[in-house]
Structure 1
Amino acid sequence: MKKKTHALLILGLIFLVITGCTGKNTQTADSENTKASSSQDKKETRIFTDSAGRKVEVPNEIKKIAPSGPLAQIVLYTSSPDLLVGLASPFSEDAKEFIDKKYQELPEFGQFYGKNASLNMEALSAADPDVVIDIGEVKQSVEEDMDKLQDQLGIPTLFIEANLDNLPDTYKKLGELLGETKHTDQLSQYCEKVLTQAQAVRKKLKDSERKSVYYAAGNAGLNTNAEGSFHAQVIEEVGAKNAAIGVDIVSKGSGTVVSMEQLIQWQPEYILAESKNVYELITTDDSWKELTAVKEGKVYQVPTAPYNFLGSPPSVNRMIGIQWLGQLLYPNEYQLTIATSVEEFYKLFYHVKPTSQQIDSLLENAQ
């Protein structure tokens, strides 16, 4: 009996030792797992410095993005359409022919900036983007604006600078943020090539060789983007002169209102019509016949699908605008086949190969 009791005591002690060791090992394993999980969490985010110098914590892998407005939407669509979770504004009827239907059906959030500012924060939050991206020219209040929007949404909000001359850097910055540089590098190199050619032509042209151009917008063709306007940069970029001089610059896309008397005084060598209606008005209405450009048949319709070539809105669509207008005004210097340029640009930036019929329709009255 004593032997049995002794044996039971020994077995009990062995059990306690094993249990204690197992518990200790379990606690150690739990502790190690917690540390590993914490380390993994840290690796899931990184710090990205945006164009405003703000250091923002963003996911290491960005899978969903939302634009803050139309300019951002165009650039993000060209760089990474499959990451978009929504739109700042719907695609126009002209654009729909060149935009895949699945992107047209994305929800609308509205825009943060501009006269049409109407950002629907609830809809934006519901889409749960990893980041909200604002792209455009630097505003004095950009840091404050981005911080405020980020605090309201609880979503990392970033600003990336984009103007006509720094678009190559814009795409490089986007590639850095999104972690996919193959396509953004292609877009950057394309923009660099276009801008370099335009710069070379500008330097080559004598002042007497610079063509004067009037951009006819609005229902009557008497709205224009005057010299020095952000929306008229393509004219000056290709080496031409904006005929609308000595008038106030209006920053809105509708531009400055001018009179027929001013137009007759300016006598532009070329007139670029914003739409087919304006083109037909200028080429048929008697009030325009006193203009040299009309007499000489130098009135052209600006291509507008999916976006206006001259800059409505003033985003990356201006890259094909530079080539179109440059070839129109200075064919010997640019030496482009514009139909080929359109096809190349649309494939690379808009992810669609236009048919020859689509290109012919797009360039109607534009050559």
Structure 2
Amino acid sequence: MEKKVKVIILILILLVCLGLATHLFLTPSSVKSGNHENVTDMINRSVEIPSEVDNVVATSPPMTTVLYMIAPDKLKAVNFQWTEGELKYVPGQYANYPVVGGWYGTQDGSYEEFIAAEPDVVIESIDEGGDGDLSTVDERQEKFGTIPVIAVKDTTNVEKVGESISFIGKVVGAEDKANQLNDFNNKYLDIVHDRSSKLSDGDRKTVYYAYGDDGLQTSPSHSTHGQLIDLIGGKNVADSLNQGNTTSGVQVSIEQIIKWNPDIIITNNQNFYDNVYNNSNWAHIKAVQNKEVYVSPQSPFKWFDRPVGANMIIGVPWTAKVIYPEDYKDIDMVDATKEFYSEFYHIDLSDDDAKDILLGSGLKESNL
């Protein structure tokens, strides 16, 4: 009898140990201890952070955008100054974040101003597979001292952004909101993946992406900046200029654009859009003649580009409606816009508000 009891006790001990080991195996990214926990960031660094993160800043706009979308009350500074037009769509409580710059195109970040924002953690963007990430993060950590720096994969690819959104959500305690944002993105990605895969080469419309006041800079296919054209199945006329995943624009001439003669022109430059229909240099291009020039909605973040990141999630259905309106009649852009702004930009739009944004982008009312 005593032997049986010992066997039972031994079995119970083994089961407890097995359960503990299983728990640790299934949750490798964080280990809590008191008021702090260790997280493994996205370049496999172990970083000790507070168990409750209440204040956070990011070193680049794409990361800041994600934080604004899923945890605006925890965001304590931004990298850029909102324009007056953008502030129209920013609730008052978020309109006056301190501007601390950052380390991206302009490289104008101020360590002193970041530290003055008193963040619990700093989110550092890293290029997936890029060189020098660890040394850059180590440099940031040295400059920020005891403030933990967490490396997160770059969120510039709208098809891959989900992993980083989920990770940031976990760090700042906004997992439900992160999941909601990913669900919205995946809904429209699934739709456009299915429909674009069925396009024959002859069905694909030609698209020119114009930026700059004169519209004479562009991004070829397979660049982050023109990615929504590729995603929807448009044929980027600048494909022959492909220089890889370039972050800078390619200069072209009006003569080259006339030769390409695109079906559709998309821009994120309001000045170019406001003037293109009255510019004789563009008058003989098919897209201009057919009133098929569109400008990405701008506020509070651009839907198509600049920056590339989670702000482009709402740009997926918009670009689909721009290029192939007949194929996407079942998408109600008024409802999609209202949902996105309410849930992720924290401002409720009326039907008329949403229509103003969409009609201002060049969409026809019959295609909303």
State the distance in 2 between where 1:350 and 1:96 align.
Answer: 11
Structure 1 window deviating more from structure 2 (191-200 vs 275-284): it is 275-284
Report SS of the residue matched to 1:362: helix
- Give the counterpart of 1:341 among 336, 342, 351: 336
State the distance in 1 between where 2:93 and 2:247 align.
Answer: 29
Cα shift at 1:237: 0.8
**What TM-score, normalized to structure 1?**
0.83
- The residue type equivalent to 1:72 in the other structure is M
1:70-125 CA-partner distances (Å, limit 9, x unpaired): 111111100100001211212222220111223221222110232x1122111221
Judge conservation of contact 2:207–2:264 (CA < 8 Å) in 1: yes
State the distance in 2 between where 1:132 and 1:337 align.
Answer: 38
- Give the counterpart of 1:119 among 109, 118, 122: 109
- The residue type equivalent to 2:119 in the other structure is P
2:201 alignment counterpart: 207
Is residue 349 of structure 2 the alignment partner of residue 354 of structure 1?
yes
Is residue 65 of structure 2 the alignment partner of residue 74 of structure 1?
yes
2:97 alignment counterpart: 106
Report SS of the residue matched to 1:204: coil
- The residue type equivalent to 2:281 in the other structure is S
Cα shift at 1:127: 2.1
**What TM-score, normalized to structure 2?**
0.83
State the distance in 1 between where 2:304 and 2:171 align.
Answer: 28
* Identity fraction in percent: 29
- The residue type equivalent to 2:61 in the other structure is P
Judge conservation of contact 1:253–1:312 (CA < 8 Å) in 2: no
State the distance in 2 between where 1:111 and 1:127 align.
Answer: 13
Give the aligned length: 326
- Give the counterpart of 2:278 among 281, 284, 289: 284
1:182 alignment counterpart: 176
Cα shift at 1:302: 2.2
Distance 1:203 1:106, change over 3 A: same
- The residue type equivalent to 2:120 in the other structure is D
Q: How does 1:314-329 map to 2 (within 5 A)?
A: 314-329=308-323
2:362 alignment counterpart: 366
Structure ranking higher in helix proportion: 1
Q: How does 1:79-158 map to 2 (within 5 A)?
A: 79-114=70-105, 116-135=106-125, 137-138=127-128, 139-154=130-145, 155-158=147-150
Cα shift at 1:328: 2.2
Cα RMSD (Å)? 2.0
Report SS of the residue matched to 2:62: helix
State the distance in 2 between where 1:228 and 1:77 align.
Answer: 28
Report SS of the residue matched to 1:311: coil
- The residue type equivalent to 1:352 in the other structure is I
Is residue 188 of structure 2 the alignment partner of residue 194 of structure 1?
yes
State the distance in 2 between where 1:207 and 1:113 align.
Answer: 37
Please tell me whether Structure 1 or Structure 2 has the larger radius of gyration of its CA atoms: 1
Judge conservation of contact 2:206–2:264 (CA < 8 Å) in 1: yes
Gaps of at least 5 residues in structure 1 are 1-40
Report SS of the residue matched to 1:152: helix
State the distance in 1 between where 2:355 and 2:248 align.
Answer: 27
- The residue type equivalent to 1:194 in the other structure is Y
State the distance in 1 between where 2:70 and 2:361 align.
Answer: 30
